[in-house]
């Protein structure tokens, strides 16, 4: 499998940000890591290996980035307002730096699907919904879509506008809604096993339904916990059968 590691100094975040790239051709899959993890997490936990047939077959080219959760919501020693600001800076990094990088290494027409598990699912859903002009879909595995689950009850405008369960309920902008509705790749996946919260996916799916947005809700059985083995099975299945 073709594999490349690189980085650049991010103007949005004012730090060096690494990225790993797997494959040579296909639609672009942008992977957002879980919780306090990094850009190599999906490789370390063999999720990249699990989708290697799709990568080597030229179906998908994968781009895996760092989160900055340790500098925002996962940092207990940081002022909540500063956490919120830092999160917004990470969004800017994705929209203004990562997307152009993907375009440079694919094409201007290549679809970009964003994907993540756990906290990465929330981030993935959020960046897709905020910029459906840049992303053509999302695969969200084992996520909750209420950012206050991670903010220790802190709430401000930036929390609101990065919490899909909050802002989607009140979204009325026709042009944005229509762009979201164009996607046929909004996939909400969850197990029903230990530490999973399938109700979170169900509640968010209902909100999308109320907005007339096409989605797929897929709840796996109680033998599928909130764990890597679940995601190593989910993602290759969806890449093989839905794309």
Which tokens go with 99? 């997307």
Which tokens go with 234? 């989910």
| Domains of the chain (ranges, CATH numbers) | 3-234 (3.40.50.1820)
State pLDDT tens for residues 120-164: 999 999 999 999 999 999 999 999 999 999 998 899 999 999 999
Does residue 36 surpass a pLDDT of 90? no
pLDDT for 20 equals 98
CB-count burial class (<10 Å; 0-12, 13-18, 19+) for 173 = exposed
Which tokens go with 113? 């699907």
Residue that is written with structure tokens 């993907």 in the block: 102
- Cα-flanking dihedrals φ and ψ of residue 17, to 5°? -125, 120
| pLDDT, mean of residues 54-82 | 95
62-158-97 Cα angle (round to 5): 35
pLDDT for 214 equals 97
- Give the span between the Cα atoms of 31 and 77, in whole angstroms: 27
- Give the span between the Cα atoms of 75 and 73, in whole angstroms: 6
Q: Is the pTM of this model over 0.85?
A: yes
State pLDDT tens for residues 79-127: 999 999 999 999 999 999 999 999 999 999 999 999 999 999 999 999 9
């Amino acid at each position: 499998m073709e594999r490349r590691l690189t980085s650049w100094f991010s103007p949005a975040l004012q730090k060096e940000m690494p990225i790993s790239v797997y494959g040579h051709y296909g639609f672009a899959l942008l992977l957002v890591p879980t919780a306090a993890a990094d850009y190599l997490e999906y490789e370390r936990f063999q999720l990249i290996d699990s989708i290697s047939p799709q990568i080597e077959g030229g179906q998908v080219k994968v781009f895996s980035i760092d989160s900055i959760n340790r500098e925002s919501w996962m940092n207990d020693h940081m002022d909540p307002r500063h956490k919120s600001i830092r999160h917004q800076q990470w969004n800017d990094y994705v929209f203004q730096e990562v997307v152009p990088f993907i375009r440079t290494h694919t094409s201007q027409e290549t679809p970009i699907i964003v994907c993540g598990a756990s906290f990465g699912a929330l981030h993935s859903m959020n960046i897709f919904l905020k910029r459906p002009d840049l992303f053509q879909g999302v695969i969200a595995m084992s996520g909750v879509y209420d950012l206050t689950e991670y903010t220790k009850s802190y709430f401000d405008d930036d929390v609101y506008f990065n919490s899909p369960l909050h802002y989607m309920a009140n979204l009325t902008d026709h042009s944005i809604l229509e762009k979201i509705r164009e996607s046929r790749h909004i996939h909400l996946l969850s197990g029903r096993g230990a530490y999973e919260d399938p109700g979170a996916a169900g509640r968010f799916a209902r909100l999308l339904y109320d907005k007339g947005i096409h989605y797929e809700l897929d709840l796996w059985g109680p033998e599928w916990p909130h764990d890597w083995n679940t995601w190593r099975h989910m993602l290759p299945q969806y890449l093989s059968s839905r794309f």
